[in-house]
Amino acid sequence: MNDVDAQRGPSAKKGIKERALSQVLSPGSPNYLYEGCLRTDDISFRESKPYVGVMKDSSGYLLCQIYPDEREVQVSERMTAEAVRVAIEEAGVAEPVFDQGTGLAFLPDHTEPLTGFPSSAFPGQILARVARLLELAESDLMHFRTVTRSPEGRPRPVYPSTALQIGLLKNKNVPDLVPCLLPAGYPAACHRFLRKWLLLPPSYRLADSAHNLCKQLASPEQD
């Protein structure tokens, strides 16, 4: 909440302050943009947790992850239950989780049940509900982009039990795997990026391109 008259100086007549809602903060949108548009320096953003919707159809599970700050909707199709669990544990969730008849036991307790939506309309329904939670205007929804991921052309995600045993997921009895793979003084963004790619491998084409890029960056400069 902001005081509308805060910048107008003292007033001779005291009364009730006028207030206006400037932004709704939540676990899925934790960054408060105070005068963000007027600042010239870099603004530190925390990585937000996505709002999640899950449904099951004849082809498997459909996972919809919505990142309000990034204005992005990620849709993963034909997933296994293990892949859904890994994706949720890797990125976290901003509750409530929208569940359409999956029966998945590992979902958080705070869920909102849905029924009757086909897979083609499911992401839009989740986005509309998230918009109501955050009090976003309908015009804001036009700025969200949708990224659809298919299991074709990419390796299957690692099983959660395997990820726990090798330290890829948090396990107090096993050292964290990712710091062992990175050099000393690595940025936090590299840590998150590598963990995500190991838990949810990219497509073969993207992995090959990243491999070639790393080889070029690691090779000595040539005149």
- Which residues contact residue 39 at a Cβ distance below 8 angstroms, ignoring those fewer than 6 apart? none
Token pair recorded at residue 74: 């990620």
Residue-wise pLDDT for 26-60, tens only, equals: 666 666 655 555 455 555 555 678 999 999 988 88
Edge to edge, the sheet with strand 145-149 lists: 111-113, 97-100, 51-57, 60-67, 72-79, 145-149
Q: What is the pTM of this model?
A: 0.66
Q: pLDDT at position 163, please?
A: 85
Q: Which helix (H) or strand (E) holds 96?
A: none
Beta strand ranges found along the chain (DSSP E): 2-3, 19-20, 51-57, 60-67, 72-79, 97-100, 111-113, 145-149
Q: pLDDT at position 54, please?
A: 96
Please tell me the class of the 51-149 domain. alpha beta
Average pLDDT over residues 158-177: 86
Residue-wise pLDDT for 105-133, tens only, equals: 999 888 999 999 999 999 999 999 999 98
With the CA atoms of 60, 66, 67 and 68 taken in that order, what torsion angle do they form, in degrees rounded to the nearest 10?
180
Residue-wise pLDDT for 87-99, tens only, equals: 888 888 888 999 9
The domain ranges of the chain are 51-149, 160-218
- Which residues contact residue 89 at a Cβ distance below 8 angstroms, ignoring those fewer than 6 apart? 160, 169, 199
Q: pLDDT at position 12, please?
A: 52
| Helix count and strand count (H, E) for the chain | 7, 8
Whether 64 has a pLDDT exceeding 60, the answer reads yes
